[in-house]
Every structure is written in C-alpha cells, then in structure tokens.
Structure 1
Amino acid sequence: MLNEHYWDNRYKNNDIKWDIGYVSTPLKTYFDQLTDKNLKILIPGGGNSYEAEYLHNIGFTEVYVVDVSETALQNIRKRVPTFPSEKLIHQDFFKLEETFDLIIEQTFFCALDPSLRDDYVLKMHQLLKPKGKLVGLLFNFPLTKDGPPFGGSETEYKKRFSPLFDIKIMETSYNSIPQRQGNELFFILQKK
C-alpha cells in the first residue's frame, strides 16, 4: 500500500499532516553548526523538504532529495526555483546507488512499512561514505500497526543500528516543535 501512487496522492491531496511547513528546530540547530558547505548531503523521502531548502539557502552546494512522489519534488521546484533540478531525484530510495557524507532522517523511517527497517539500516550504511553520518529525528512512541507514522523506541533503534553504526548521540530532543515535544529522539550515527 505504501507505494509511489499512495505517496503521490497524499501530496496531490495535501494530506500531509507530518509536514510542518518549515525546517524542524532540531535539524536547523544541527545544520547551523556545520561548516563544510561542500558536504554531499542526502535527504531521503524528503517530501517538500524544507531541510533541503534551508541548506540550499545557507550555501550548501551538494544537497540531494530523493522521493517517490513527483508531486513533492515539483513542490520544491516551484518553491525554490534556484534548487538544482538534477538533485531532486524521483526514485525509490532503496534503488539509489550514490554515496554521501551525510544523510538526514526526517519522518522517512517512520513512514516505511516496519518490515523494511533492517533494509533501511543496511541501505543507509551502503549509501554513506566511510565515516559518513546519519543524523536526524526518530519518533519515540510505541510501534503500532496503524500508520504511517509507525513508532519505535530507543531500545529498538540502538539494537537495529549498532551493528553497522557507532551511536554518537541518541537522546530525547530538547528542542522539538511543540506538537512533537517528548516524542522525538535526536540522533547522530557514524558508519563503522
């Protein structure tokens, strides 16, 4: 059910409750600490990707968004006409073959069918350059069968990621947006 048609219809019908309309505070805070504007950055399942827009506007030159929804990618093109079109990739994340210094997680993991979680971890590891980082937010509420979003826990995430990543930070986000306060974990993982 969670296929290209499903997601594109969600964007066409503006049925995107997860979309807050701006870069989330925890990610903005992290981005503002980055100094190398040439980092090759991927935002998978990026949707309207205010994160990509923010990074682009503060001078990052190698930001890529991959999404199965052409409508979401068109939304970025319309909103940020200076964003390079070739870096908006209409493709299944699991078929991507490039490598990146940094991958940003923002409401992508929780949107995937939970049966794909181990595949997600492995694919993230494959897409990252040596010592590359996976950084972002994961929901911290019980895993449900009703979703997306599908929940998860710090214990589950650590168990899944630790074989392939060093967990640098995984803690309750102190600066989440009000409607997500206490339900998000901010994390920084480095490829082993």
Structure 2
Amino acid sequence: MASAIVDVAGGGRQQALDGSNPAVARLRQLIGGGQESSDGWSRCWEEGVTPWDLGQPTPAVVELVHSGTLPAGDATTVLVPGCGAGYDVVALSGPGRFVVGLDICDTAIQKAKQLSAAAAAAADGGDGSSSFFAFVADDFFTWEPPEPFHLIFDYTFFCALHPSMRPAWAKRMADLLRPDGELITLMYLAEGQEAGPPFNTTVLDYKEVLNPLGLVITSIEDNEVAVEPRKVIS
C-alpha cells in the first residue's frame, strides 16, 4: 500500500498524562488495562475523568488547518478515531473537507454532538458548518465505513491502546485509508510508565507496525505548539 504517513511529534494538553496525575490514576482503574471496551471509557466520561480532554481543539490541529496544507476538495473525507468530545473534528471540517468523528463510547459521541450543536447555534447556525462533519459511535476495529478516507488524524488514540493491539491498529489504518491517503499521528511519546493508558510509546513503535504494511513515514516533525507538560515525560 502506497499511503503516505506524516508523523508529528509532540503534545498539547494542560496536564501530563502520566501516573503523577491523580486523574490518570483513576482513569487506569476505570479502564482496567487499556483494552478497547466501551464500558471503561463510558465510566470515565460519566465520572468526568477525562484528563486527555483539552476542552478545545488541539493546538497542532488549529495550526495545520491555518497552514492550508491539509487536503481539501470535492468529496475529501477525514476520519478522527477516538474523537472524544469532537473538538478536532469540528476544527478540521469545512468546505471541501468532510470529517467523521468516531468513538467507541456513546457518551462521548453524545457530548460531541451537543457541543458542536451549541457552537453552531452560537454562530447563528447560518454558515452550514454542521454539514461538514458527523459523529459515529462504533468500534474502530470492526466499523465499516462506505468508503476509505483521504486523511486520518490520530492523537492520544495509539497510546491509549494496550501495546498488544498496535498491530491491529495499523491494519485498520491501512484498511481505512485510500491508496493515496495520509495518516497524521500526533505522537504522545510517553516513557517510564508502569501501566497505562497512556502506555509507553516511541517512534519505533509506530514504525514497527506501519512499515510492514507498506505505510511509509514521510515526515517526522517537532510540535512547537505543544504545551510544556506534554513535551517530556520524566
């Protein structure tokens, strides 16, 4: 498969997602090991234990949108797996680019729909912005969209999965991308963690599962807009 991969290293949340954060400790209790299950993630949303949630679009996403380098045009489609409250979905969407936000947790999807509707109402709802995105509650590993995507954006999704699930993650990315598509993964390079999520992650972890599928890494860049606590895990 000849899909291009663009890896952007960095972070962008206010708090470090490691064991020193009490919310992360509680997250790990609720998730129970990082296996892909809606129950644990639903409990997190219901209890308000969402340390990954910035409450606004990821700074790097905003920068990418403003750069004008993202694909856009007739019927250009984008997928954001593990979209949570959907801030990045809305930020990426616009004329010429339809974005699907996917999450296994229905509670998160309902919140995403509410927040995006409120944002559209605040803007008087006159620009048709809600027609540029949609939210789907389903399992990334089994969901079958009608056609593959031009672009997939992954952030705090890879590192949230148990490492044993990473080959399956890569396979699904390959299946869900068009042959000429791109995967942008904003890597959260956690280390020194005895548990997860987020699990210890290196650039090599991405290469080991993507390269065998013919997914070629074309760029690795430092994210200059990352919030300081997320740049380094000690």
Q: Which residue number in structure 2 is paired with residue 15 of structure 1? A: 49
Give TM-score, length-normalised by structure 2.
Answer: 0.71
Q: Which residue number in structure 2 is paired with residue 187 of structure 1? A: none
| 1:87-137 deviation digits (Å, cap 9, x = unpaired) | 211110001222111000011111111110000001100000111111031
Q: Which amino acid aligns with 2:81?
A: P
- Consecutive unaligned residues in structure 1, runs of 5 or more: 184-192
C-alpha displacement of 1:180: 1.2
Q: Which amino acid aligns with 1:139?
A: Y
**Does 1:178 pair with 2:212?**
no
Q: Which residue number in structure 2 is paired with residue 76 of structure 1? A: 112
**Does 1:159 pair with 2:208?**
yes
- The alpha-carbon distance between structure 1 residues 27 and 136, as it changes in their structure 2 partners (threshold 3 A), is farther
Other structure's SS at 1:117 match:
helix
Q: Which residue number in structure 1 is paired with residue 142 of structure 2? A: 95
Alpha-carbon distance between aligned partners in 1 of 2:133 and 2:92, rounded to the nearest angstrom: 16
Runs of 4+ in 1 over 6 A off after TM superposition: none
- Which one has more relative contact order, counting CA pairs under 8 Å at least 6 apart? 2
Contact 2:61 2:92 in 1 (8 A): no
Give TM-score, length-normalised by structure 1.
Answer: 0.85
Q: Which residue number in structure 1 is paired with residue 169 of structure 2? A: 120
Q: Aligned residues, how many?
A: 182
Name the structure where strand makes up a greater proportion of residues: 1
| 1:126-163 deviation digits (Å, cap 9, x = unpaired) | 00011111103111132644111112111222222222
Q: Which residue number in structure 1 is paired with residue 38 of structure 2? A: 4
Contact 1:140 1:154 in 2 (8 A): yes
Q: CA RMSD in A?
A: 2.1
- Consecutive unaligned residues in structure 2, runs of 5 or more: 1-31, 121-129
Alpha-carbon distance between aligned partners in 1 of 2:203 and 2:92, rounded to the nearest angstrom: 28
Contact 1:40 1:101 in 2 (8 A): yes
Q: Which amino acid aligns with 1:157?
A: Y
Q: Which amino acid aligns with 2:195?
A: D
